[in-house]
Structure 1
Amino acid sequence: MKDLTEKRKITIMIAIITSLFFSAINQTIIGIAMPRIIAKLGGMEYYSWAITIYLLTSTVASVLVGKLSDIYGRKPFILSGISLFMIGAFLSGFSGDIFQLITYRAIQGAGAGIIMSTAFTAIGDLYEPRERAKWSGVMSAVFGVSSVGGPILGGYIVDHLDWHWVFWIFLPLGIIAFLLILLNFPKVEKRPGESVDYTGSLFLTLTIVPMLLAFSWAGSGPDKYAWGSWQIIGLLAVTIASLAIFLWTQTRVKTPVLPLGLFKNSIFTVSNLAGFFLNAGMMGAIIYFPFFVQGVKGISPTLAGYVAMPMSIAMLLTSAISGQIMTKTGKYKKMAIGGLIVMTIGMSLMYFMNPATPIYELVLLMILLGLGIGVAMPVFSLTVQNAVSPQQLGVATATSQLFRNLGGTIGIAVMGSVMSTNLAKKMMELTASTGNQMNAAPSDPALAEKLALFQNPQNLLDQPKIEAALQSLPPDSKAVFMAMLDMVRESMSYAITTTFLTGAIVAAFAVLITLFLKEIPLRSGKTMAPKAAGPELKPKGAPETN
């Protein structure tokens, strides 16, 4: 596509950005709304699955599509991704219970993985690395815009409209994105001499899925398995066996789904590891901050969206600016390190939040975190694409997406385990110190019934239910109810802020890894990767390039 006119390239980028925005806004609009949706559908104990299944299917889809799009071109896959995403969103709105929602979210996730993988790879097809930096910043800014509008709109919908519209409201945008891609994106002929690695794809899937399931199911809680249980050990055993077979097949096929030679390139390897830890740490803030604002502070979903909005605005500004700076200077290492340090500091300060923390402090912390994430986020996809040959843009970008998704999924699972463990621990401590008020109240049946709400602390996320329970009690019982409410909020605050500390530690690992990132000039033409980046890597049978 390098022979296209600049006008045609910009038209294609508008189409890609539209499809990316459609995918991103549908994710962020759900974030704030999910606690209320789960409260309506029931199955609170399966809350994390609605998020985990999405990440799982998007992870598998993104990495499998990477090599296929190198062979067949990006167009059929980005169209199929948009279609799957729309089908999943449409069906999610009709969910009658949590299990239906999880199933339809899986379809959405597969579509999102395909969109993300092909959209970011398409930049590499259209532009040289220096120009890619600018467009990478723009595409990161798309996430910022969706992060600003999504939570506010999602909160408004669940507060004032039927929750089904959270999934349906942007479906017309998906149709527009589909038509723009269909009409403007050029069709590419199948690359000669290439074949699909079905065996490698199968065993890569059998490696990823059991591993993510093991990390999602392991931990403490009624819906969890102990790390030493046969279920978790069995899943990890399948993971290791499948990984061994996968690695063996990749050394023996003509066109492997994931060329292992890519990992000889230090920039490719370091960038992917840094992206893994960045996403693992970041997901703690993105997923559990709404829990803190709605559950601990007792703020409605609409207002919670406004509290989270400053982080998104900061991400929007810094990602766009950092892309422009990288385009102008060709440098990226200091920006990556600086952004990750700011992110680590922001998450460390979030550990000190408590039920009495004023809203303006939460806003300031969100701004600090957004500044760090916005600077660091665009860097690692760019460094991966800059370090490999043009023929491997698809598989390299998909691998980058794979590591980020793995980091996000494992990070959510680990931090969820940290939160549930510390929540139970703090509840036991406070209950013992207050003389177990829940068990001391059976003389008042109405009060005992209302206090039973706190047997599941996540009921704090349904503020109307809490308010209704409080208003129905006589004045004497309200004091006991409020004391119990404060105790549960303190416990949830302790548990959630501990996840932020865990996220800060993980982000610090990303800083350390990035110190080993080699900095080579961003290429000013669509040439092979410089030798400083590592060995030149070409798929077997690929034509020579000049």
Structure 2
Amino acid sequence: MEHLEQKQKITIMIAIMSAMFFAAINMTIVGTALPKIIAQIGGMDYFDWVFTIYMLTATITAMLVGKLSDIYGRKIFILIGISIFMVGAFLSGTSSTIYQLILFRGIQGFGSGMIMSSALTTVGDLFSPRERGRWQGLMGGVFGLSSLFGPTLGGYLVDNYDWHWIFWIFLPIGFIAFALIWKLYPNHVRTGEKEPIDYLGSLVLSIMIISLLLGFTWAGNRYEWLSVEIIGLFSITVLSFITFIWIESKVKSPVLPLHLFRNSIFTVANIAGALMSVGMFGTIMYMPFYVQGVLGQSATTSGLVEMVMTISMVAASVTVGTLISKTGKYKIFALIGFTLMGTGIFLNSMLEVNSSLTQAISQLVLTGIGLGMTMPVFNVAIQNAVDHKYLGVATSTMQTFRQIGGTIGVAILGTIMGILMEDQLMEERAATTAPTPSSEMSQTLGQLQDPQALMNPDQLESIRATLPAEFTPLFDQMLLTLREALNYAINGVFLVGASAILLALIVAFFIKEIPLRTSNQDEEKTAPPMKPVESKS
């Protein structure tokens, strides 16, 4: 679609980014609203499935649609994705039970996977690799804006209106995006013979992704790491992986062509992207624990602190995307970005109980700038390194690697946090001598054994108000002990996150920088040779 007029390309991109924003903000808006939703429809024991099912269906669909869009074009899948997503969003707003909400969020996930995969690939269809940088930067900005406004808007809507509107408020954007894409997006013109669909490979790949993500999502949370359930899920993952490799080496048109991994740029960029997600999600997930739990700030303050990081990330992403298009260079931005991001996260690992909020914010800005610098790089590098006919599957593979990296990272970091905090609390309690309270006081003070108590300042004040004056010093001591233990554990989490970014930096050194093509038609002239192995049928 390079031949289209610039005005038409820009209009299509506006529609594409509208669809992406529609999907992304529906994912981020739910977080702050979910407690009130659960309070009305019940199902506290299953609330995590509202997120898990969305993640699973979106990841699987994105991976499978990548290959299909290479065969049948992007337009059909974007339109289907928007339609499915709107149906899922509308139905989610009508949920009267937690089971309905989980089912309808799963439908949303299917649509989201189609939208995200096809949208990121569309940039490669419309623009040459040399032009893609600025647009990939803008796409990163869309994700950032959804993270910026979603949680705040979700909280505002459930506080002032009916919670159903968090799913319905953006439906008009979906209709507008659908209409624009339907009218402006060129229809796909199939060239060459029709490729068969790899149904068996798709099924085995789906099983592998589901078992892997569920294993890391549940490990250390719902089940112990060495439980039968987790070992069983990981065993299924390994068996599925071996089976998938065998299938893909035999079929004529594999859902994930294995020869892509012979391309060093494709392989190295995916590994670096997965490691980047570990540091990114680790910071996003655990910085609120520091701001609220250790510093004792409100949830609103915590949201504003992370908003600063998001703004810096969006600004850096858009700026670097433009510089990539202008200079044709991308590797240097990945190296600088990982250095800044790793430095910011490492400095977070040195935060103390009495550190200032300003210090935390400045380090998050540094982290956000580094993250924003790296985000456009790997999209551009991977899409520039593969033949255009593999653009969809290459882009969707990159998304899958990032999702898997983030899921695995959060699971491991959560386990590390729990272990470190427990060890620190046992050490502190062994060294503390305090008067023995009565059984009633012990029950009241026992609420401070749970680190989650630190996330609710109002609850802490209510506990303090019920205590006799002679036990106030003991309360303050226990509170300080808990905060110190939580701070120690979070420091360990950030240190591991910084180590992941250091590994990403090392990996990024091995990315071979090749000239960004000025056309989608000259792959063979600049990209590394890739000789697919196809069995004859």
Q: Tell me which residue corresponds to 1:253.
A: 251
Between 229-238 and 86-95, report the one with greater CA deviation: 86-95
Tell whether the 8 Å contact from 1:152 to 1:303 is kept in structure 2 after alignment: no
Aligned length, in residue pairs: 534
Q: Distance in 2 between matches of 1:90 and 1:58?
A: 17
Q: CA deviation at 1:166?
A: 4.5
Q: Distance in 2 between matches of 1:284 and 1:129?
A: 31
Q: Could you tell me the TM-score, scaled by structure 2's length?
A: 0.90
Q: Tell me which residue corresponds to 2:131.
A: 131
Q: CA deviation at 1:266?
A: 0.9
Aligned residue among 491, 494, 498 for 2:488: 494
Distance 1:473 1:186, change over 3 A: farther
1:456 aligns with 2:454: no
Deviations 1:361-411 (A, max 9, x none): 111011000110000111001111001111111111111111111111111
Distance 1:353 1:533, change over 3 A: same
Aligned 1:412-491 pairs, distance under 5 A: 412-435=410-433, 440-443=436-439, 445=440, 447-491=441-485
Deviations 1:480-514 (A, max 9, x none): 44433333333222222321111111111110111
Q: Tell me which residue corresponds to 2:214.
A: 213
1:15 aligns with 2:15: yes
Aligned 1:299-378 pairs, distance under 5 A: 299-378=297-376
1:203 aligns with 2:204: yes
Deviations 1:419-440 (A, max 9, x none): 2222222232233333488xx4
Q: Tell me which residue corresponds to 2:295.
A: 297
Aligned letter for 2:128? E
Distance 1:211 1:482, change over 3 A: same
RMSD: 3.0
Q: Distance in 2 between matches of 1:330 and 1:80?
A: 35
Tell whether the 8 Å contact from 1:35 to 1:461 is kept in structure 2 after alignment: no
Distance 1:45 1:458, change over 3 A: farther
Between 181-190 and 363-372, report the one with greater CA deviation: 181-190
Between 64-73 and 354-363, report the one with greater CA deviation: 354-363
Q: Distance in 2 between matches of 1:331 and 1:532?
A: 14
Aligned letter for 2:283? A
1:232 aligns with 2:230: yes
Q: Tell me which residue corresponds to 1:380.
A: 378
Between 374-383 and 31-40, report the one with greater CA deviation: 31-40
Tell whether the 8 Å contact from 1:130 to 1:330 is kept in structure 2 after alignment: yes
Tell whether the 8 Å contact from 2:61 to 2:110 is kept in structure 1 after alignment: yes
Q: Tell me which residue corresponds to 1:5.
A: 5
Report sequence identity in percent.
48
Tell whether the 8 Å contact from 1:294 to 1:304 is kept in structure 2 after alignment: yes
Q: Distance in 2 between matches of 1:207 and 1:259?
A: 16
Q: Distance in 2 between matches of 1:465 and 1:501?
A: 30
Q: Distance in 2 between matches of 1:401 and 1:179?
A: 26
Tell whether the 8 Å contact from 2:223 to 2:229 is kept in structure 1 after alignment: no
Tell whether the 8 Å contact from 1:29 to 1:154 is kept in structure 2 after alignment: yes
Q: Tell me which residue corresponds to 2:388.
A: 390
Aligned letter for 2:437? A
Q: CA deviation at 1:282?
A: 1.1
Deviations 1:112-157 (A, max 9, x none): 2222111100111111111111111111122232333334334545
Distance 1:114 1:337, change over 3 A: same
* Gap regions ≥5 residues in structure 2: none
Distance 1:162 1:421, change over 3 A: farther
Deviations 1:174-194 (A, max 9, x none): 333333333332332556421
Aligned letter for 1:181? I
2:29 alignment partner, SS class:
helix
Tell whether the 8 Å contact from 2:33 to 2:154 is kept in structure 1 after alignment: yes
Aligned 1:71-220 pairs, distance under 5 A: 71-90=71-90, 92=92, 103-157=103-157, 165-189=165-189, 192-219=193-220
Between 492-501 and 269-278, report the one with greater CA deviation: 492-501
Q: Tell me which residue corresponds to 1:263.
A: 261
Tell whether the 8 Å contact from 1:389 to 1:538 is kept in structure 2 after alignment: no
